[in-house]
Every structure is written in C-alpha cells, then in structure tokens.
C-alpha cells in the first residue's frame, strides 16, 4: 500500500537527527504504516516519548505529540489516556528510557492494563549520550561504560511486561520490517496494555564497539538470532542460547482501566442523580 507520507510526517522537520544507518527510521516507518493501514483518526491519536534517540520520533509525526522527561513517557501518557479515554495513545520509548529510569512506570502501566501501545525502540545502548550500556545490553557486549564487556544480565522486556500483567507483548526487529508493522497494528488494535519490543540497530555506538560496524551486519545479526515465536517453545535451553523469539508472545483479554473507571463514574453519577 502506498504511504501518503505528508499526511503522517512533519516533512518540514526533516532531515531527522538520527545517524546514518540507524534503525529508528525503519521502526518509525512501521508505526506510520500501521496507523495508515488501521485508518486511525490522526486527530484522535497522541504520540508520547521520553528522552533519547527514540524520543525524537514524535517531533516528525504529524499528530498531537509530547516529548517528555527521561523515562516518564508512560506516566505522562497515563494522564492523557485517563483524562481522554477516546484518544489512541502511543508511547515511543527507548531501552534506557523504558527499562532503566522508567522501569517502574512500564510495569505499573502493564499491571493496570491501561489501553496504551508502548513501542520500545530497543537498540540496547544509550545512543543520545554516545554509547553507555543499558539494561538491555547483552552480556559481554562493549559500551563506553562497559569497557571490559557488560557484566550484568539484561532484561527481557516482553517477559517483564508479561510478568507484570500486560495483556499484549510482542517482539520484532528492523530486519523483519513487515512483521514489525503487523505486530504494531495488532498492538494498537489490542484493547489493554500492549508492548512491542522493536529491536533497532545502532551501528554508530553499539555496532562499532561490537564488531558489527555496518547496519547490514547488525541487521544480519538480528536475522541470525531471531526465532519465530511458534518455534521458540520447542527449543531446548542450549538451542535458545544467543537467540530470541520474535512475533506475538502473549495476547490475552482482561478488563481495561479506563473502561472500568468509566463504569465507576457512570454508577456514581447515576447514584448522585437519584
């Protein structure tokens, strides 16, 4: 489907600030394509971000947009959604944003099953500040703050969201752009908290320290490690080593917060009116 770019992008704000080879443009494109294919009302859709490379995406998107403080995008979005439940609220976040400084907001939004779509531009590095390790940097990888290799265990954000009660969690990569678009479509359509872990390459700050100097090498790295979710369950722990599942990892139904709260308001107002 041809994409009417000018409808969705603030083309006057281009060129974007992302480095050559950065994967964020691919994720952005998947979001725009998903919105287009779902025919979302552009006047009823709000896009919220935190701080970091990913956080600049809303500036290029022709919607109501909010570029907030580091880690807090989901908390700001919570206020927007609760105040105006009829809005589609999409959060664009980074891995440092969502998993480190904003980790608490991620798990609580998942627990509440608030109808937000959270898309994590996961490049497993702090790009904006030039390459420090994040909670998603793979063990052994090099970053400016892990000059001897990453010593800590990384998070699996989809598992974290599932554990916290999120009703939709999925993962894809910039290598799997079509799948990524479909997953984002499904996430936006999902009633309840939906999380997408979108792996995006950062050849500039992650790749060059980890023998993946070009975008091509990095996307190949995604391709080699990604396993379709349907195959993942059949794999032994040894087979899973160094790999990750892509696709929809969980999708369940549960009462959504704004619906439940709306019912409470209705009940109390009826009671007050009697």
Partner 1 sequence: MIKNQARLLQGNEAVVEGAIAAGLKFFAGYPITPSTEIAEQCAAKLPAAGGTFIQMEDEIASMAAVCGASLAGAKSMTATSGPGFSLKQENLGFAVKGEIPCVVVNVQRVGPSTGMPTSPAQGDVMQARWGAHGDHEIVALCPSSVEEAFSLTVEAFNIAEEYRTPVILLMDEVIGHLREKVVLPSKEELVVKEREKPSVPQGEYKPFAMKQGNIPGVPPLAAYGEGYRFHVTGLTHGEDGFPTNNPAIAEKQLKRLNEKISSNKEALVKVEEFHLDDAEIVVFAYGATARSARKAVNDARAQGIKAGMLRPVTIWPFAEDALLKVKAKSPKAVIVAEMNLGQMVLPVKRVMGDSVPVVQVNKLAGQLIEPEEILSAVKEAI
Note the residues at the interface with partner 1 (CB under 8 A).
13, 42-44, 46, 48, 58-59, 62-69, 72, 75-84, 86-87, 104-105, 108, 261, 264-265, 268-269, 271-272
- What span, in angstroms and rounded, lies between the C-alpha atoms of 64 and 43? 7
- What span, in angstroms and rounded, lies between the C-alpha atoms of 56 and 75? 18
The nearer residue to partner 1, 77 or 150, going by C-beta atoms, is: 77
**Residue 160 near residue 107, CB atoms below 8 Å:** yes
As beta bridge partners, residue 121 has 94, 198
Query: Checking phi first, is residue 106 left (phi over 0); if not, alpha (psi -120 to 50) or beta?
Result: alpha
The nearer residue to partner 1, 37 or 64, going by C-beta atoms, is: 64
As beta bridge partners, residue 52 has none
Minimum distance between the CB of residue 175 and partner 1, rounded to whole angstroms? Answer: 31
The nearer residue to partner 1, 23 or 58, going by C-beta atoms, is: 58
Query: In b/e form, how buried is each residue of 181-202, taking b as 16+ CB within 10 angstroms?
Result: bbbbbbbbebebbbbbbbbbbb
Minimum distance between the CB of residue 45 and partner 1, rounded to whole angstroms? Answer: 9
**Who contacts 144 (Cβ-Cβ below 8 Å, separation ≥6)?**
130, 131, 132, 209
Minimum distance between the CB of residue 180 and partner 1, rounded to whole angstroms? Answer: 25
Minimum distance between the CB of residue 16 and partner 1, rounded to whole angstroms? Answer: 12
The nearer residue to partner 1, 80 or 229, going by C-beta atoms, is: 80
The nearer residue to partner 1, 18 or 206, going by C-beta atoms, is: 18
Minimum distance between the CB of residue 85 and partner 1, rounded to whole angstroms? Answer: 9
The nearer residue to partner 1, 135 or 247, going by C-beta atoms, is: 135
For residue 120 the two structure tokens come to: 């994590």
Minimum distance between the CB of residue 222 and partner 1, rounded to whole angstroms? Answer: 30
**Residue 227 near residue 244, CB atoms below 8 Å:** yes
**Who contacts 214 (Cβ-Cβ below 8 Å, separation ≥6)?**
21, 203, 207
Minimum distance between the CB of residue 20 and partner 1, rounded to whole angstroms? Answer: 21
Environment class of residue 134 by beta-carbon count within 10 Å: exposed (0-12), middle (13-18) or buried (19+)? Answer: buried
């Amino acid at each position: 489907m041809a994409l009417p770019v000018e409808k969705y992008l603030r083309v006057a704000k281009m060129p974007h600030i992302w480095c050559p080879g950065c994967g964020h443009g691919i994720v952005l494109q998947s979001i725009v394509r998903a919105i287009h294919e779902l025919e979302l009302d552009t006047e009823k859709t709000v896009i919220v971000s935190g701080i970091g490379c990913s956080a600049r995406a809303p500036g290029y998107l022709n919607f109501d947009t909010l570029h907030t403080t580091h880690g807090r995008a989901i908390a700001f979005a919570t206020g927007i959604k609760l105040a105006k439940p009829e809005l589609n609220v999409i959060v664009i976040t980074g891995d440092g944003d969502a998993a480190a400084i904003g980790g608490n907001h991620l798990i609580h939004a998942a627990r509440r099953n608030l109808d937000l779509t959270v898309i994590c531009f996961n490049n497993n590095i702090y790009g904006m500040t030039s390459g420090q390790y994040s909670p998603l940097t793979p063990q052994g990888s090099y970053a400016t703050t892990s000059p001897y290799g990453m010593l800590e265990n990384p998070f699996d954000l989809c598992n974290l969201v599932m554990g916290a009660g999120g009703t939709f969690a999925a993962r894809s990569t910039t290598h799997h752009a079509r799948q990524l678009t479909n997953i984002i479509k499904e996430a936006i359509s999902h009633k309840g908290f939906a999380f997408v872990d979108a792996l995006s390459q950062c050849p500039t700050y992650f790749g060059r320290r980890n023998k993946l100097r070009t975008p091509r090498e990095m996307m190949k790295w995604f391709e080699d490690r990604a396993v379709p979710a349907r195959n993942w369950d059949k794999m032994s722990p040894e087979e899973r080593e160094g790999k990750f599942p892509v696709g929809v990892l969980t999708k369940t139904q549960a009462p959504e917060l704004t619906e439940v709260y709306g019912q409470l308001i209705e009940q109390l107002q009826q009671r007050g009116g009697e």
